[in-house]
């Protein structure tokens, strides 16, 4: 056989065998979803719902947009999505390269085969496990202002505990895989929780307390939100994000009132001044920014930190902001313009510095009257300082791996701490003594906590 015939038979065989191979059912997870992510999600995600359509999950895709379900299982010809992506000049994607003919065929075949969802369990699906195989890290904590409840962030849920850790009062599951920050409204009637599912959406949840219902959920952007705080009049919320933006929204309906995009990197949080007319935000871009909300205008950098700002908190009654940095520095600043800024490079707004915490500052909190400031670190150690003079009052030990969250009890001399090891601990704030340790989540095997990289032995 000469070369040409060999080639011919090889190609013919290729066609013969291609058919049975290609007949394997089309996988939503492996074949359809990657196309949606590449060509469609940019305009169809929870933060940007063109045509009122979210294409980031199977369920949202199926639910469809303005004109109802985007596809009809078994009937590609009656499916809106096929109409949109095929034809001479396909209308979707509204911008950019159309899908190739073979990609359109994938959609048609997947719908014809029943449009099944084969997304693996746990893949961005909003479910909290009934019993956890092991305790997840604790990224956020907050006591209700009356001291009756302790909110703890877990996987796809918020768990409300009785403040002494004696029982779970409620489990409230939501879309966000992770909650990064909590804030109770000053009157205690609402709990705001911000977080998200990285690369999918950022979410703000507002829950009525103490029932946790009804819940409002507002989605912003495509990445996690951080560092939430209420305005003094409880009408607005402010928070930062991994996409840099700091947003002010209306708590009633989630309307974005102001989007501040002046940070060059993640913004880990922001806080209103005591009159609610200004805010200060901090970010990984080594910037602490002062912004006027009336004029919707950036005023100036409140100082010149020389390390990324990883956490910040406003004094409960004064226009002062305390922050921790990526190299462990802890400072207290006035939330005002630089007096004398040009004169002598003077850091006029700095009120005080505190002892550096080990490695990186990871969490920061004031007690109810602002007399104490607690700072957590990447080594797990927490430190409590007296605000007025910086003296260290107590050291919190025992936490294995980074400490992620700290919250003072509003009435008792107690502080809750949580971190990588998944154990919730209550310490005495006067001497740092451990009061109790418990699992904030119900465990399959009681006592099964994360032990970090050590556990990787085969």
Token pair 């950036």 is found at 298
Per CB under 6 A, the segment of 43-51, 156-164, 294-302, 421-429 that binds ligand HEC is 43-51
Choice between 93 and 188, CB closer to ligand HEC? 93
37, 51, 63, 118: residue in contact with ligand HEC (rule CB under 6 A): 51
Q: Shortest gap between Cβ of 77 and ligand HEC (angstroms)?
A: 15
Residues 295-354 that bind ligand HEC (CB under 6 A): none
Site membership for ligand HEC, residue 94 (CB under 6 A) = yes
Residues 414-433 that bind ligand HEC (CB under 6 A): none
Residue 288: phi, psi to the nearest 5?
-120, 110
| Rounded Cα distance, 310 and 287, in Å | 11
Q: Is 424 exposed, middle or buried (0-12, 13-18, 19+ CB in 10 A)?
A: buried
Contacts for 104 with CB less than 8 Å, ≥ 6 apart: 82, 85, 86, 90
Q: Shortest gap between Cβ of 114 and ligand HEC (angstroms)?
A: 19
Q: Shortest gap between Cβ of 93 and ligand HEC (angstroms)?
A: 3
| Count of residues that bind ligand HEC according to CB under 6 A | 23
Choice between 81 and 326, CB closer to ligand HEC? 81
**Do 218 and 255 touch, CB atoms closer than 8 A?**
no
Terminal C-alpha separation, the chain: 55
Choice between 61 and 260, CB closer to ligand HEC? 61
Site membership for ligand HEC, residue 222 (CB under 6 A) = no
Choice between 67 and 392, CB closer to ligand HEC? 67
What is the Cα 332 distance to its own chain's centre?
26
Using CB under 6 A as the criterion, what x/- string covers residues 63-92 for binding ligand HEC? Answer: -xxxx--x---------xx--xx------x
Site membership for ligand HEC, residue 50 (CB under 6 A) = yes
Burial 206-245 (b: 16+ CB within 10 A, else e): bbebeebeebebbbbbbbbbbbbbbbeeeebbbbbbbbbb
Site membership for ligand HEC, residue 244 (CB under 6 A) = no
Residues 11-40 that bind ligand HEC (CB under 6 A): 39-40
Token pair 């959609």 is found at 107
Residue 74 tokens, joined: 């078994």
Token pair 């609610």 is found at 276
Choice between 98 and 145, CB closer to ligand HEC? 98
Choice between 30 and 295, CB closer to ligand HEC? 30
Choice between 64 and 165, CB closer to ligand HEC? 64
Q: What angle do CA 158, 162, 165 make, to 5 degrees?
A: 95
| Rounded Cα distance, 427 and 414, in Å | 6
| Binding positions for ligand HEC, rule: CB under 6 A | 39-40, 42-44, 50-51, 53, 64-67, 70, 80-81, 84-85, 92-96, 99
């Amino acid at each position: 056989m000469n070369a040409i015939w060999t080639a011919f038979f090889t190609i013919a065989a290729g066609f013969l065998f291609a058919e049975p191979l290609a007949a394997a059912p089309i996988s939503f997870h492996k074949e359809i979803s990657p196309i949606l992510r590449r060509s469609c999600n940019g305009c169809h995600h929870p933060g940007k719902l063109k045509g009122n359509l979210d294409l980031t999950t199977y369920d949202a895709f199926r639910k469809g947009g303005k004109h109802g379900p985007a596809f009809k299982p078994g009937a590609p010809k009656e499916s809106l999505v096929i109409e949109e992506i095929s034809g001479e000049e396909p209308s979707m994607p509204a911008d950019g390269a159309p899908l190739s003919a073979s990609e359109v065929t994938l959609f048609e075949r997947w719908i014809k085969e029943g449009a099944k969802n084969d997304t693996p369990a746990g893949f961005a699906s909003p479910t909290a496990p009934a019993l956890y195989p092991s305790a997840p890290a604790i990224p956020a904590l907050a006591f209700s202002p009356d001291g009756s409840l302790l909110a703890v962030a877990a996987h796809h849920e918020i768990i409300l505990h009785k403040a002494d850790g004696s029982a779970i009062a409620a489990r409230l599951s939501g879309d966000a895989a992770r909650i990064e920050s909590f804030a109770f409204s000053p009157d205690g009637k609402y709990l705001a929780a911000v977080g998200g599912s990285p690369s999918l959406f950022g979410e703000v949840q507002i829950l009525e307390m103490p029932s946790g219902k009804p819940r409002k959920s507002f989605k912003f952007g495509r990445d996690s939100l951080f560092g939430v705080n209420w305005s003094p009049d409880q009408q607005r919320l402010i928070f930062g994000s991994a996409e840099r933006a700091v947003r002010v929204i209306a708590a009633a309906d989630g309307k974005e009132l102001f989007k501040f995009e002046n940070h060059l990197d993640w913004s880990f949080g922001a806080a209103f001044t005591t009159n609610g007319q200004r805010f200060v935000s901090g970010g990984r871009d080594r910037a602490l920014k002062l912004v006027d909300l009336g004029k919707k205008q950036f005023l100036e950098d409140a100082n010149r930190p020389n390390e990324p700002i990883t956490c910040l908190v406003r004094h409960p009654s004064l226009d002062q902001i305390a922050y921790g940095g990526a190299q462990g520095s802890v400072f207290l600043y006035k939330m005002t313009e630089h007096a004398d800024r040009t004169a002598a490079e003077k850091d006029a707004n700095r009120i005080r510095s505190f002892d550096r915490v080990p490695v990186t500052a990871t969490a920061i909190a004031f007690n109810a009257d602002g007399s104490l400031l607690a700072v957590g670190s990447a080594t797990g150690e927490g430190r409590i300082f007296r605000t007025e003079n910086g003296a260290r009052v107590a050291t919190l030990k025992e936490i294995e791996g980074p400490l992620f969250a700290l919250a003072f009890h509003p009435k008792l001399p107690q502080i809750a701490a949580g971190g990588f090891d998944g154990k919730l601990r209550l310490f005495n704030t006067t001497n740092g003594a451990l009061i109790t340790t418990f699992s904030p989540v119900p465990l399959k095997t009681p006592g099964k906590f994360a032990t970090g990289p050590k556990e990787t032995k085969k």
